[in-house]
Amino acid sequence: MTREVSLAELPEDLQILILQVLESCDIQLMDEHADSMRLPVRTLPINLFPDTPIISSGDDRDLTYAKEMINQKLPPIVICGNQWIDGRHRLWALKKMKVKSVRCIDLQSLIGTYPFPKIATITSEL
């Protein structure tokens, strides 16, 4: 069973990121269709995601930002197949909360291959 989430349900910064990715991959949405867009969601074991530094170059968010996410309801991580695109702070917080699985918006069915730098590659499911 494929699960979905509405783009409109996501935080504004995540909506903007997803729309920018789609636009960069030549997928144009009419503004009136963007709010009703449904995105595929997969649940993956958290141990498939490698440990990565919380702070990357050009990222103004720090450890304090990540710590504030602990014990909060967090939006899904963004992936494209086995490419981890967005959500390093969320994943760090989920690992601190000892969560076993993570919800992921998977853009692969919408864009195919993600053409930009990724956070990391997700290891294969066992």
Q: What is the pLDDT of residues 30-40, one digit of tens each?
A: 666 677 889 99
Work out the pLDDT band at 60, boundaries 50, 70, 90: low
pTM: 0.87
* b (16+ CB within 10 A) / e for 74-105: bbbbbbbebbbbbbbbbbbbbeeeeeeebbbb
CB 6 within 8 A of CB 37: yes
The β-bridge relationship of strands 77-80 and 101-106 is: parallel
Alpha-carbon distance 85 to 80, whole Å? 7
Ordered structural domains, the chain, with CATH: 3-121 (3.90.1530)
% residues pLDDT > 90 (the chain) = 63
